[in-house]
């Protein structure tokens, strides 16, 4: 059976009926990949010994541990493209209660730094990721340059969605 007989693989045919149905295919792929990625992060960090963490908690922990330097709350939000700072602040509180981060100050701003336990959780996560995810992905023989191009395209598309969200706010 030919691909065009079935049409694009989407979750919302009414959205694919527009002028650029391929974007609906991408959006459906993002939805599936995003949900699978979130499920993976939660299960991987649970395997590392932290079963009560949400996907955002895991992302915040990895962002805080990045380059092993303290991070300001606003910088964490900027890096992760999160508008609602209270959600990140809540994640920081959970991570602090778990002993994975500690808070400090840079002038008047609160900073967050990974503790030794937080660094170990990130290292354990990385090892689990290497064994359970990256080995199987390497077997797919993906081209590293293609993966980098895809990542760049996704970052560019996030800017388009941000711009469209601003436009929708004033519509």
Classify strands 71-72 and 101-106 as parallel, antiparallel or unpaired: unpaired
Digit-coded pLDDT (tens) for 28-72: 999 999 999 999 999 999 999 999 999 999 999 999 999 999 999
Which pLDDT score, from 0 to 100, does residue 10 have? Answer: 87
The predicted pLDDT at position 2 comes to: 55
Q: How far apart are CA 85 and CA 108, in angstroms?
A: 17
112 φ, ψ (degrees, to nearest 5): -130, 135
Contact yes or no for 68/112 (Cβ under 8 A): no
Note whether 30 and 36 are within 8 A (CB): no
Phi and psi at 116, nearest 5°, equal -60, -40
What pLDDT shows up at residue 59? 98
* pLDDT beneath 70, residues of the chain: 1-5, 7
């Amino acid at each position: 059976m030919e691909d065009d007989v079935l049409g694009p693989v989407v979750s919302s045919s009414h959205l694919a009926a527009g002028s650029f149905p391929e974007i609906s295919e991408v959006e459906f792929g993002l939805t599936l990949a995003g949900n699978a990625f979130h499920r993976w992060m939660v299960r991987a960090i649970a395997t590392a010994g932290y079963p009560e963490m949400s996907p955002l908690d895991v992302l915040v922990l990895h962002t805080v541990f990045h380059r092993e330097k303290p991070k300001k709350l606003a910088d964490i939000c900027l890096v992760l493209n999160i508008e609602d700072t209270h959600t990140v602040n809540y994640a920081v509180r959970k991570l602090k209660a778990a002993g994975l981060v500690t808070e400090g100050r840079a002038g008047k701003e609160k900073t967050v730094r990974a503790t030794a336990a937080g660094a170990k959780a990130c290292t354990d996560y990385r090892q689990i990721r290497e064994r359970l995810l990256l080995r199987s992905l390497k077997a797919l023989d993906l081209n590293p340059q293609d993966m980098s191009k895809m990542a760049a395209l996704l970052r560019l598309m996030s800017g388009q969605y941000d711009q469209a969200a601003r436009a929708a706010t004033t519509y």
